[in-house]
Amino acid sequence: MPGEFELIARHFAALTGRRADVVLGVGDDAALLDLPPGQELVATVDTLALGVHFFADCPPAALGHKALAVNLSDLAAMGAGPAWALLALTLPAADDAWLARFAAGFAALARSFDVSLVGGDTCRGPLAVTITALGHVPRGQALRRSGARAGDGVYVSGEIGAAGLAVRARRGEITLPAALATHAARRLDYPQPRVALGLALRGLASAAIDVSDGLLADLGHICASSGVGARLELARLPLPDGALAVATRESLVGSGDDYELCFTVPPRHEPALGALAASVGCALTCIGRIEAAPGLWLVDEAGQTRPAAQGGHDHFR
């Protein structure tokens, strides 16, 4: 079995191409990186751990993809362009074939967004992947959670709920029709970070967050940070085909792992969203509106309004 340093050198070298702004990459005590002038550095870290964030049968390539994707999704929610990543990998054993597939999944996504791997660490233990993603945004132009104002439209990209359905199906709680099962598994294992959308929303959105804990919980974070409330119309939720045959809108609005963007847009900018959706190639759906008074309200299909039960993932509950 090859040693740690060889493992890192072999598989990390294959992980991704090298950007011109990487002055010094993997192989020294630290990486040296060139941030373009006029930009703020954007930094985030997320861990995916076996049994908490993914199942034992998660394909290694999917894990490599997803561990990077969830971090790029955080950068997207800030309106930042991704640039560099650092990878801390805990493995039960140095399995060369496993690492090759993990690296392939990571590298494919990294290349598609021109992200360079610039640092790494490995150690032995229960499977877990911690990635730090670094990017940048022109000074003062980042999207924050705190800018939502009463009257702003509440939007979500793509569709909501498929990843949560896949989780419930893998736990044996529900059975999905074949087409939905395939679609949902793909959404759970290979989430696509909305990087282009995040960049395009700069100057338009008043607040943004990525949908990781569940749409309702994440919109709750925007409201809490902004000191506002929101009214969500369940009938407007963009759902996967066939989802309502196996789940309620109420459950889908609380399921996580979608990695779409939820964002708010002042009325004067809302007319621009049609062209923007076309240019970035994903649906943007208005699902509600921000209100001055704190509190999250759900309007059901019958037009009845009621307070939303707060929820979301919480690994320590």
Q: Which of residues 193-232 bind its own copies (CB under 8 A)?
A: 208-210, 225
Q: What is the DSSP letter of 61?
A: H
User: Is 126 a binder of its own copies (CB under 8 A)?
Assistant: yes
Which span sits near its own copies by CB under 8 A: 117-125, 150-158, 276-284, 287-295? 117-125
Distance of CA 114 to the CA centre of its chain: 17
Q: Is 213 annotated as a binding residue?
A: yes
Each residue 161-190 as x (binds its own copies by CB under 8 A) or -, in order, gives ------------------------------
67 and 193 in contact (C-beta within 8 Å)?
A: no
Spatial CA neighbour of 69 closest among 212, 207, 238, 197: 212
Q: Which one among 18, 41, 235, 283 touches its own copies, defined by CB under 8 A?
A: 41
Looking at 35-43, 180-188, 264-272, 289-297, which segment touches its own copies (CB under 8 A)?
35-43
Alpha-carbon span 256 to 262, nearest angstrom: 12
Answer yes or no whether residue 100 interacts with its own copies by CB under 8 A.
no
Q: Which stretch binds its own copies (CB under 8 A): 54-62, 74-82, 171-179, 186-194?
A: 74-82
Q: Binding to its own copies by residue 45, rule CB under 8 A?
A: yes
The region, left, alpha or beta by phi > 0 then psi within -120 to 50, assigned to residue 242 is left
The answer to whether 136 and 44 have CB atoms below 8 angstroms apart is no
Comparing C-alpha atoms, which of 237, 257, 269 is closest to residue 156?
A: 237
The residue type of 271 is: P
* Rounded CA separation 256/302 (Å): 25
Residue 37 or 271: the one with the smaller Cβ distance to its own copies is 37
Which of 89-97, 150-158, 159-167, 245-253 is the region at the interface with its own copies (rule: CB under 8 A)? 89-97
Distance of closest approach, residue 63 Cβ to its own copies, in angstroms: 15
d(CA 30, CA 50) in angstroms, rounded, equals 28
Q: Which CB sits closer to its own copies, 84 or 176?
A: 84
Closest to its own copies by CB, 28 or 57: 28
Q: For residues 38 and 44, give the distance between their C-alpha atoms in angstroms, rounded to a whole number.
A: 20
Helical spans, DSSP H, in 123-214: 162-170, 178-189, 195-201
Residues 249-268 that bind its own copies (CB under 8 A): none
Nearer to its own copies, 90 or 251 (CB): 90
The span from the CA of 66 to the CA of 80, in Å, is: 18
* Least distance CB 304 / its own copies (angstroms): 29
Least CB distance from residue 128 to its own copies, whole Å?
6
- For its own copies, the closer CB: 38 or 303: 38
How far are the Cα atoms of 2, 55, 314, 316 from residue 52, in angstroms, in the given order? 29, 8, 10, 10
Residue 130 interacting with its own copies (CB under 8 A): yes
Residues in contact with its own copies, total (CB under 8 A)? Answer: 73
Report the phi/psi class of residue 34: left, alpha or beta, with left for phi > 0 and alpha for psi in -120 to 50: beta
> Could you say which of 53, 66, 187, 194 contacts its own copies (CB under 8 A)?
53
Binding residues for ATP: 120-121, 145, 212
